[in-house]
């Protein structure tokens, strides 16, 4: 038979056999030595890029919570593959595998003869080593053209394949080659590699496969698309036939008995179709998963370019351990579910972080994660900023007053220092404004800021003004301290807009006009809990690469506020639960401090608070657009609200979740504040009350005039703290409305 006839066979086996037979045309014998010498076949090193491996994400207890993959693959060692599986694949693909070198001349010639007499491809002639080479070339192809070239039935390709196979045989043992082949092969149904295939097809590991299962997977390798059991009955029937063919071959080679083959043939296919979830939508904790995913995609530590980081996530085979605490996550989810239903248009979101480390322990939201709008699902990470899959956030309202309080204390104010204001505060026009941004530019807008339930005004101190969340007091305080100093304080605490834009440095900054997310606000309030130490939010604690190299992530913290200032802030804000805007809700039975935040027009409602152990923030707003869909006249969690304040829902979610999250954790106390440094007053002490008229009506309030001395009702406002001011452009606050 001449070379022309061999090439005319048109099969891979035919092409290779033709190449091998070339020396015989001149009368040279068909030997491996003469063939390699005549064709100048020399071993050529094969570039073997790492196989695409799935990346797995684990919680802090070591339990897997999510995974990402380009190809669902989990590589295993040869001793982690059942011996019967190894026998089955060798029997059907290359039964002389352990006897020949890079090429099985005997097998190739036999395959050629059968293909020619059978009128088609009856047997393949490639050894397992050659098949491995072909799969490596195919997998590393970057274009469709390169992929097709890797499997093209051409003489050049087959000769190059042989050169590479010769090098592979020199480099690895037979067991190592078989291991690589079983890990790279595609078995159908989205399963790459024997371990993923065993789990996908039969819900077990490759080490646990029995005879029938092993024969099934060995039979699938030849044509994994045609035998894909997920494609219907025809494909399953074909796979069943292939399984039986493998069993017959194993019996023929006396690897099993005829009786064993017959018994295995009687078994059903047994395909379980075990789901192999991938991506955050399949995770039990989708919002935390999304945060981790975007942390990898945006952090240069994981690759120089976005493309590099995406490839690492999808193919890198990483094992990522996170800060997620299942108990605290459950506490957050349960508390949110209690007060806000998944079907509600307004959505609640919460983040829980650890002061002093920045570890994010929980991220939760009331809405289910997904793209089904009819089910009210969302793809927005409501608990995080846009960098981590979130949206534009919600105005933080009066939680921002904590930054003004801290700035005042840092600049020499004492807890009993204060100012006198009326029911309104007039924000002057630019030309007359006392407010300057951090560039030294004047900012103003010529409008009025109103109090509502805080009363008509009077003298308020840092303590009473905070507990009552008095708008006019904080506007005057910001004027006295300096807008830029307040902004700088917020920035030191890690405050940034959820959308990634620059903070709006406007006079109403102290009222919370900037849109925030719970992670950012939680981390800012955690600074006070950790006595002035800001820690970058942290979701990943350890990354193990495919080679077992472990890189531990350490907290990134720095002292940004004096310990004494932080202690004084905690001293003031701890009263929010007993004498302030959270009085009706109450505390959690241990040291805690916090601040409610309701925006003007009720567009959003917040509560941010902390203990020495944990800090958390809860936001509530309508993702459809807070300004067009405010929180007035709404039914949330099955309950109707005429107006939603910071304490109405967010404060209650915070309380319930924190009590459960802290269960079993020994209660810690705030460090006592330095009363010598921060107690009393020096800058602006309360004016002495006027002498009381002895003939005063005995029916008057025992607290006297509200402008002279606060009554308990003057100090707190049932959660109705006026906060964020409209759209952030210093839109006037509506008189009489609670914000």
DSSP state of 369: B
Task: Identify which of 483, 466, 474, 467 has the alpha carbon closest to the alpha carbon of residue 419.
Answer: 474
Residue 314 has pLDDT above 60, yes or no: yes
Per-residue pLDDT, 111: 53
Highest mean pLDDT among 296-305, 564-573, 695-704: 564-573
CA dihedral 508, 512, 516, 521 (to 10 degrees): 130
Q: What is the rounded CA–CA span in Å between residue 400 and residue 403? A: 6
- Maximum CA extent, the chain: 136
Torsion of CA 301, 306, 309, 314, to 10 degrees: 160
- For residue range 364-377, list pLDDT tens digits in order: 999 999 888 889 99
Cα of 519 vs its chain's centroid, Å: 13
pLDDT exceeds 70 at position 586: yes
pLDDT at 275 (0 to 100): 80
Q: What contacts 218, CB < 8 A, 6 or more positions away?
A: 85, 88, 89, 91, 92, 93, 246
- This prediction's pTM: 0.79
Residue 311's alpha-carbon distances to 180, 304, 379, in angstroms, are 21, 11, 22
The three-state secondary structure class of 186 is: strand
Report, as an integer, the average pLDDT of 678-704: 64
* pLDDT band at 730; cut points 50, 70, 90: very low
Query: Stretch 481-486: mean pLDDT, rounded?
Result: 98
Residue 687: pLDDT band (50, 70, 90) is confident
Residue 525 exposure: Cα atoms within 13 Å on the Cβ side? 35
* Averaged confidence pLDDT in the chain: 86
Which DSSP string corresponds to 518-581?
HHHHHHHHHHHHTTSEEE--B-EEEEE-TT--EEE----EEE-S-HHHHHHHHHHHTTHHHHST
pLDDT in tens, 619-676: 999 998 888 899 999 999 999 999 999 999 999 999 999 999 999 999 999 999 999 9
User: What is the predicted pLDDT for the residue at 721?
Assistant: 58
Share of the chain above pLDDT 70, in %: 84
Dihedral angle at the C-alpha atoms of 638, 640, 645, 646, nearest 10 degrees?
-10
Least-confidence region, from 49-58, 59-68, 143-152, 175-184: 143-152
Compute the chain's Rg from CA coordinates.
36
Asked if residue 60 lies in contact with residue 323, where contact means CB atoms within 8 angstroms, the answer is: yes
What pLDDT shows up at residue 564? 98
Encoding tokens for residue 130? 């050659």
Element (H, E) at 600: none
**pLDDT tens profile 384-402:** 999 999 989 999 999 999 9
Token pair in block for residue 640: 């109707």
Confidence at residue 76, expressed as pLDDT on a 0 to 100 scale: 95
**285, 65 contact by CB (below 8 A):** yes
Choice among 55-59, 338-342, 455-459, 586-590 with the minimum mean pLDDT: 455-459
> ∠ at Cα 541 (293, 556), nearest 5°?
100
Average pLDDT of span 437-447: 91
Q: Tell how far CA 400 is from the center of its chain.
A: 27
Of 75-79, 413-417, 734-738, minimum mean pLDDT range: 734-738
Every domain of the chain and the residues it spans:
1-41+100-170, 394-539+559-687+698-715
Helix (H, G, I), strand (E, B) or coil at 53: strand
Question: In this model, does residue 93 exceed pLDDT 90?
Answer: yes
Task: Report pLDDT for 108.
Answer: 60
Residue 581: pLDDT over 80: yes
Closest listed residue to residue 517, CA positions, set 360, 301, 327: 360
Count of Cβ atoms closer than 10 Å to residue 149 Cβ:
15
pLDDT at site 170: 94
Helix/strand/coil (H/E/C) assignment for every residue in 627-693: CCCCCEEEEECCEEEEECCCCCCHHHHHHHHHHHHCCCCCCCCCCCCCHHHHCCCCCCCCCCCCCCC
Question: Nearest-CA neighbor of 100 among 166, 184, 160, 151?
Answer: 166
Domain 394-539+559-687+698-715: CATH superfamily, name plus number: DD-peptidase/beta-lactamase superfamily (3.40.710.10)
Q: What is the mean pLDDT of residues 341-362?
A: 97
Q: Is the pLDDT of residue 232 over 70?
A: yes
């Amino acid at each position: 038979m001449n070379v022309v006839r061999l090439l005319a066979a048109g099969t891979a086996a035919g092409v290779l056999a033709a190449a091998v037979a070339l020396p015989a045309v001149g009368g040279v014998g068909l030997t491996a030595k003469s063939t390699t010498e005549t064709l100048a076949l020399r071993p050529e090193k094969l570039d073997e890029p790492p196989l695409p491996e799935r990346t797995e994400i684990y919680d802090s207890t070591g339990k897997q919570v999510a995974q990402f993959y380009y190809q669902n693959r989990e590589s295993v060692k040869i001793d982690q593959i059942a011996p019967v599986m190894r026998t089955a694949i060798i029997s059907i693909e290359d039964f002389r595998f352990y006897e020949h070198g890079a090429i099985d001349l005997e097998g190739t010639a036999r395959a050629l003869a059968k293909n020619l007499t059978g009128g088609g491809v009856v047997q393949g002639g490639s050894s397992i080593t050659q098949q491995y080479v072909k799969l490596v070339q195919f997998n590393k192809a970057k274009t469709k053209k390169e992929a097709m070239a890797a499997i093209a039935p051409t003489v050049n390709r087959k000769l190059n394949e042989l050169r590479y196979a010769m090098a592979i045989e020199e480099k690895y043992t037979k067991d190592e080659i078989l291991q690589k082949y079983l890990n790279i092969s595609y078995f159908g149904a989205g399963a790459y590699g024997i371990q993923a295939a065993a789990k996908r097809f039969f819900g077990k590991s490759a080490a646990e496969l029995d005879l029938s299962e092993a024969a099934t997977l060995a039979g699938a390798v030849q044509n994994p698309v045609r035998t894909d059991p997920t494609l219907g009955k025809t494909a399953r029937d074909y796979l069943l036939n292939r399984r039986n063919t493998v069993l017959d071959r194993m019996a023929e080679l006396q690897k099993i008995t005829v009786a064993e083959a017959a018994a295995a043939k009687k078994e059903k296919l047994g395909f379980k179709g075990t789901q192999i979830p991938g991506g955050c939508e399949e995770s039990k904790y989708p919002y935390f998963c999304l945060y981790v995913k975007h942390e990898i995609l945006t952090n240069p530590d994981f690759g120089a370019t976005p493309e590099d980081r995406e490839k690492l996530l999808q193919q890198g085979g990483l094992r990522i351990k996170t800060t997620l605490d299942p108990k605290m996550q459950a506490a957050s989810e349960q508390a949110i579910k209690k007060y806000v239903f998944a079907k509600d248009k307004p959505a609640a979101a919460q983040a829980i972080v650890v002061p002093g480390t920045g570890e994010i322990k929980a991220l939760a939201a009331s809405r289910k994660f997904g793209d089904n709008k009819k089910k009210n699902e969302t793809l927005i990470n409501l608990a995080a900023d846009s960098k981590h899959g979130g949206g534009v956030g919600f105005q933080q309202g009066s939680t921002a007053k904590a930054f003004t309080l801290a700035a005042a204390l840092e600049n020499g104010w004492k807890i009993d220092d204060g100012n006198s204001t009326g029911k309104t505060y007039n924000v002057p026009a630019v030309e007359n404004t006392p407010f300057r941004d951090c560039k030294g530019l004047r900012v103003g807008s010529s409008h009025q800021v109103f109090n509502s339930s805080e009363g008509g005004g009077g003298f308020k101190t840092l303590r009473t003004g905070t507990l009552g969340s008095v708008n006019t007091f904080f506007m005057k305080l910001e004027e006295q301290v300096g807008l830029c100093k307040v902004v700088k304080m917020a920035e030191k605490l890690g405050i940034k807009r959820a959308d990634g834009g620059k903070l709006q440095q406007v006079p109403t900054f102290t009222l919370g006009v900037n849109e925030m997310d719970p992670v950012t606000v939680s981390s800012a309030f955690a600074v006070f809990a950790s006595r002035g130490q800001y820690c970058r939010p942290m979701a990943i604690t350890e990354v193990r690469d495919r080679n077992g190299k472990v890189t531990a992530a350490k907290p990134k913290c720095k002292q940004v506020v004096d310990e004494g200032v932080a202690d004084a802030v905690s001293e003031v804000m701890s009263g929010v639960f007993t004498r302030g805007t959270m009085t009706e809700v109450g505390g959690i039975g241990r040291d805690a401090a916090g601040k409610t935040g309701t925006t003007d027009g009720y567009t959003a409602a917040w509560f941010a608070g902390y203990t020495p152990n944990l800090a958390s923030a809860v936001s509530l707003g309508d993702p459809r657009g807070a300004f067009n869909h405010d929180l007035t006249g709404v039914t949330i969690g099955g309950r109707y609200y005429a107006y939603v304040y910071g304490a109405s829902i967010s404060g209650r979610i915070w309380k319930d979740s924190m009590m459960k999250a802290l269960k079993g954790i020994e209660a810690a106390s705030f460090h006592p504040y330095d009363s010598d440094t921060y107690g009393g007053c020096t800058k602006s002490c309360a004016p002495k009350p006027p002498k009381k008229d002895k003939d005063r009506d005995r029916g008057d309030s025992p607290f006297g005039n509200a402008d002279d001395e606060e009554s308990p009702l003057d100090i707190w406002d049932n959660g109705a703290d006026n906060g964020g001011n409209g759209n952030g452009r210093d839109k006037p606050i509506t008189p009489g409305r609670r914000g």
